[in-house]
């Protein structure tokens, strides 16, 4: 059983389109995240949700909108895709426990915008 699963794994689309990436975790964690990894492998946090509530929203264009229908799911919707959005997007989760802080990552969704 995959602990943190993302779909799709690969996404190729044209500029201007709208796309979504879904994430689900079966670890019972309270906190979920979206990270963006660029072509130089730099990992940057985008959003963090705790029990469906947004707690971290980094400087991300408002074309990116996360949605958390319940604490096991955190989806990412991207409007009007741009070339610079091409990256690997990682979903992650963690226990809402500040003494651990360990992140469990999904396998990533590679987005290519043409």
Name the site residues for other proteins (rule: CB under 8 A): 31, 40-45, 48, 50, 55-56, 90, 92, 94, 98-103, 105-108
Report how far residue 109's alpha carbon sits from residue 35's, in angstroms, rounded to the nearest whole number: 11
Cα–Cα distances in angstroms (integers) from residue 43 to residues 32, 85, 87, 114, in the given order: 16, 14, 10, 22
How many CB atoms are closer than 10 A to CB 3?
13
Identity of the residue, 79 or 103, whose beta carbon is nearer to other proteins in the bound complex: 103
Instruction: Kindly give, in sequence order, each residue whose CB lies less than 8 Å from that of residue 109, ignoring residues fewer than 6 positions away.
Output: 6, 7, 8, 9, 10, 11, 21, 88, 89, 90, 91
Distance of closest approach, residue 36 Cβ to other proteins, in angstroms: 11
Q: Taking the complex as a whole, how short is the minimal distance between the CB of residue 20 and other proteins, in angstroms?
A: 20
Q: Which is nearer to other proteins, 2 or 17 (CB)?
A: 2
Shortest Å, Cβ 96 to other proteins: 8
Q: How far is the CB of 16 from other proteins (least distance, A)?
A: 29
Task: Please say which residue, 44 or 63, places its beta carbon nearer to other proteins.
Answer: 44
């Amino acid at each position: 059983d995959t602990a943190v699963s993302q779909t799709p794994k690969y996404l190729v689309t044209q500029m201007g389109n709208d796309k979504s990436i879904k994430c689900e975790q079966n670890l019972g964690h309270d906190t979920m995240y979206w990270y963006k990894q660029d072509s130089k492998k730099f990992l940057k946090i985008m959003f963090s949700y705790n029990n469906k509530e947004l707690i971290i929203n980094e400087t991300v264009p408002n074309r990116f909108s996360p949605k958390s229908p319940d604490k096991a799911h955190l989806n990412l919707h991207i409007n009007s895709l741009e070339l610079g959005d091409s990256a690997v997007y990682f979903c992650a989760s963690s226990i809402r426990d500040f003494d651990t802080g360990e992140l469990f990552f999904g396998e990533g969704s590679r987005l290519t915008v043409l």
